[in-house]
Structure 1
Amino acid sequence: MNKENTVNRTWISRLSLAAAVAVPAAVATPAAAETLEAVTDPSFVPFEMMDQETGEMVGFDMDILSEVAKRAGFDYNLRTMDFNGIIPAVQTGNANVAIAGITITEEREKIVDFTDPYYDSGLRLLVPQDSDVDEMADLEGKKVGTKIGSTSYDYLTANLEDADITPYPGSADMYMALMSGSVDAVFYDAPNVGYFAKTKGGDKVKTVGPLYEGQQYGIAFNDGSEWVDDANEALASMKEDGTYAEIYKKWFGEMPSSESN
């Protein structure tokens, strides 16, 4: 064997070894998950709220979004904004996904895509403990606080003829107005109203009347988003394996039998 053949074989062996090492490394590298721009409302307790110690957004919706993203296969950057800007942000593409106790409505479905419902809700009245208001009809001639851009505001304007309806930018604002006597009642989403009554409202307020206008919350994506089906599959699997029930119990207690599956 001459020297030239020996050198050639040595280089061929080295190239073969390098290729053998490089191929598995390339195959093993996973594709980076797509990062979506997510938005929420920071004042819809206990669905989304700021943890004052960590500065992080926490709540029922935050846990739901985190788990859905993990199972669906996307990452997200989360930012907060007033509720009335959330649907427009998703509609215009300034955000890709939104979760903020957003009620699925026909009007909203015309401009964004919703997942399957992930929470059943409704609207509820909150009044001072000594109030004589028992139902919607008792609000005629009174001052009522609600939230800008919400379905509760739409319901009030459609069903009350003689009432002073004041929309507030955040739920904390309308509750403060109730506690200070600036309004006679607050009308808003039942879980948020109930949570306030049990916590900061203490023995000063009470919920009254039936659950008005049954509603369902959905996660909103851009119109035509490729992630809706994956998010629906994630939600379904969460309900099947008990993860959804665990998150629900963490924030609201035991699930009602009607929401157990």
Structure 2
Amino acid sequence: MTSNDAPFSFVDEKTGELTGIDGEMLNAMAEELDWNIEVVVTDFATMPQSVLSKKADLIADGLYVTEDRQKTLSFSDTWYTQGEGMLVPANSTLTSRDDAKGKSIGVMTGTTHLEIAQSLTDEKNIKMYDSQANLLQAVANGQVDAAFTDQAVVAWSLVQNPNDKVKLVSPYEPYFPGTIAAAFRQDSDSDELREALNGALADLKATPKYLEILQKYGLGSDNAAK
């Protein structure tokens, strides 16, 4: 089950193959397990219910492990971690969230990243933007000293459209860390699938391919599962 959500898990329009961070990891594990993967696409919000109603066996699509979701779903071991990213001008000397205290900060309207900005600076220094593109441009133009946005999304954006005027701070410890894993139903058949997948996941993490997948989509060793 996927919501066709880049860069996490989506169907490549050219090849028709499942790709993305979760998609490529799942393909690698499925190859070891000799599984045939059939992709089922639905809206992100309906993925849990679709698995619970047996329209698919598992979710692999950047799904955070939360206490609320654990009430109805069973999660695999951690695939990787990701939260917000800190975006700064290319010539910036800021190397951590603490360095942004008192600085001008940009965030997208309606996101939880506003909370981060409010913890670091006065309201007068916070600038709101209505799109990721406008936020990135504000950083590139030096209109803000730093910006906070979804790490994986902006990293993938910079892979697709390199911009030498901005950079993601790395390594970076997120304010809102997220643990990503596959989700299953809570039943004996799903338990068997989950344990098989966990074994293949452990094998994948022991190979260079694991980090290569993360790096392909703009993430890195600080996103690797501990």
Q: TM-score range by the shorter chain?
A: 0.5 to 0.7
Count of paired positions: 210
Give the aligned partner of residue 160 of structure 1. Answer: 118
Give the aligned partner of residue 68 of structure 2. Answer: 107
Q: Secondary structure at the match of 2:84?
A: strand
| Residue identity matched to 2:184 | F
Give the aligned partner of residue 59 of structure 2. Answer: 98
Q: Contact 2:81 / 2:223 at 8 angstroms: preserved in 1? A: no
| TM-score, structure 2 as length reference | 0.65
1:195 Cα offset (Å): 3.9
| Residue identity matched to 1:123 | E
Q: Contact 1:126 / 1:205 at 8 angstroms: preserved in 2? A: yes
- Which of structures 1 and 2 has the larger relative contact order (alpha carbons within 8 angstroms, sep 6+)? 2
Give the aligned partner of residue 134 of structure 2. Answer: 177
| Structure 2: distance between partners of 1:186 and 1:85 | 27
Structure 2 unaligned segments of length 5 or more: list them. none
Q: Contact 1:97 / 1:222 at 8 angstroms: preserved in 2? A: yes
| Residue identity matched to 1:233 | A
| Structure 2: distance between partners of 1:143 and 1:259 | 27
Identity %: 20
1:102 Cα offset (Å): 1.6
Question: Which string of whole-angstrom CA distances, capped at 9 and with x for unpartnered residues, describes residues 101-131 of structure 1?
Answer: 2221212212321111121334312245478
Q: 1:160 to 1:196 in 2, by over 3 A?
A: same
Pairs within 5 Å for 1:89-238: 89-91=50-52, 93-129=54-90, 135=97, 143-145=106-108, 153-154=111-112, 156-157=114-115, 160=118, 162=123, 174-181=131-138, 185-189=147-151, 191-208=152-169, 210-212=172-174, 213-224=176-187, 226-238=189-201
| Structure 2: distance between partners of 1:82 and 1:160 | 31
Question: Larger % of strand: which?
Answer: 1
| Structure 1: distance between partners of 2:220 and 2:63 | 20
Q: Secondary structure at the match of 1:211?
A: coil
Q: Pick which of 217-226 and 50-59 moved more.
A: 50-59
Q: Contact 1:123 / 1:211 at 8 angstroms: preserved in 2? A: no
| Residue identity matched to 2:47 | I
Give the aligned partner of residue 249 of structure 1. Answer: 212
1:199 Cα offset (Å): 4.3
Question: Which string of whole-angstrom CA distances, capped at 9 and with x for unpartnered residues, describes residues 117-173 of structure 1?
Answer: 121334312245478986376598855128x8xxxx44644873745767x8xxxxx
Q: Contact 1:104 / 1:217 at 8 angstroms: preserved in 2? A: yes
Q: 2:17 aligns with which of 53, 56, 63?
A: 56
Q: 1:52 to 1:127 in 2, by over 3 A?
A: farther
Measured on the aligned residues, the alpha-carbon RMSD in Å equals 4.3
Q: Pick which of 178-187 and 130-139 moved more.
A: 130-139
| Structure 2: distance between partners of 1:256 and 1:239 | 16
| Structure 2: distance between partners of 1:180 and 1:258 | 25
Structure 1 unaligned segments of length 5 or more: list them. 1-37, 169-173
Q: 1:118 to 1:142 in 2, by over 3 A?
A: closer
| Structure 1: distance between partners of 2:181 and 2:108 | 24
Q: Contact 2:211 / 2:220 at 8 angstroms: preserved in 1? A: yes
1:218 Cα offset (Å): 0.5
1:242 Cα offset (Å): 6.5
Give the aligned partner of residue 42 of structure 1. Answer: 5
